[in-house]
Each structure stands twice: as C-alpha cells, then as structure tokens.
Amino acid sequence: MTKTTHEKLRDLLVKDRLHELEMAYCRGVDRRDAALLHSIFFEDAIEEHGDMYSGSATEFADWVFRDFLPKYELTTHYVLNEWYRVDGDKAEGETHRLSYHRERAADGSATEAIAACRTFNRYECRDGVWKISYRSVVRDWVTQRPVDDSLYHGHFGMALSQANDQDDSYRLLSQFPRGDRL
C-alpha cells in the first residue's frame, strides 16, 4: 500500500526522533550523563550488549556507569549509517557505529581500542513518546594499540575532551545541559 504525503511526513519526523535517541546514547555515555542515557529507554526495555551484558536496559545504564566506564579516561561513540523502518507506533533500525575507548594503566601508559559495531534496535511510541524498547549490539571488528600521549597535548591548540561535566560542550552550548532528557 502506498503511503500518503501525511504518512510520509510523519515517518520522517519519527526517523528524526530515532536519530535523536541514537545521538543521546553517544552523548550520554561519552559525557558520563546517566540521566540522558536512562531517558532513551523504556523502563521495560531490553539491552543485549554482546557477552558483556544482557538484560534490563535500565540496569544496563546503571552497569555502564558503575562497572564499565570508570576504567576509561575517555570514550567517543559515533553513529555512521542509520537505516530505519517505521510502521505506525513501532519502528526498527540498524545503526553502524565506531567507538573509541582509552584506558590508562597504573604505570601511566595508555591503550586505545577502536571498534566498529552494529546495533539492531526496536523502537515504540507509547503515550506519544518514542523510545528504545529493545537493542542488540554485534561487533564487526576491533583494534587495540598503545597511545602516543604527545599527540593529545597541544595538537592544533585544541582543548581536550572531558568525560564529565567539565567538557567544553557544557560551557559553550547552553541548550545541552547536563542531565538533559529526551
């Protein structure tokens, strides 16, 4: 069946909302903003994050901040390809991602892991609000190498990202406050 112009416009608006959910995941994790990460999932959502975690998405968000992220001094997550299908109040999407994780050892040396993965997501609209109801992650590839710290200091005179509320984004972008929710 062919969709009407109104239905096509609604689907575009929904896809934009789904994109916002994916961006909020990245920002929530990388800026260590638990409230933002919690806001993208329904309370009964399921998260299957490979062999690292499988269960409640709410508990996943708690686990990420309590047990996973503290060992990394910096993470960055990027969403590359996004492909969504919308069917009424339900949608599905596949996203391709790159992630970067820098870990510092007790001796001061650091390693960085760069990985590509894909997420398979189910979204729902409940009471007019779109959120993630199911998310599964598969790894495509990963590489790990030592960090050359000299590359991160004074490079083009840029400030370094901060994995907390001291990141320049909070100072420079007033419409993106810490603890923001979608």
Q: What residues pair up with 77 in beta bridges, in sequence order?
A: 99
* Residues 145/170, Cβ–Cβ less than 8 Å: no
How many whole angstroms separate alpha carbon 152 and alpha carbon 30? 17
pLDDT of 47-63, one tens digit each?
A: 999 889 999 999 999 99
Question: Three-state SS across 60-102?
Answer: HHHHHHHHHHHHEEEEEEEEEEEEEEEECCEEEEEEEEEEEEE
* Residues 36/25, Cβ–Cβ less than 8 Å: no
* Residues 119/136, Cβ–Cβ less than 8 Å: yes
- Which residues neighbour 59 within 8 Å (Cβ) at sequence distance 6 or greater? none
pLDDT for 175 equals 86
Tell me the average pLDDT across 63-84.
96
How many Å separate Cα 130 from the centre of its chain?
Answer: 16
pLDDT for 154 equals 64
pLDDT for 68 equals 95
Calculate what percentage of the chain has a pLDDT beyond 70.
97
* Residues 54/47, Cβ–Cβ less than 8 Å: yes
pLDDT band at 129 (very low <50, low <70, confident <90, very high): very high
Q: Which domains can be identified in the chain, with CATH numbers?
A: 5-172 (3.10.450.50)
CB atoms within 10 A of CB 39: 18
pLDDT for 180 equals 80
* DSSP line for 18-52: HHHHHHHHHHHHHTT-HHHHHTTEEEEEEEEETTT
pLDDT for 182 equals 74
pLDDT band at 155 (very low <50, low <70, confident <90, very high): low
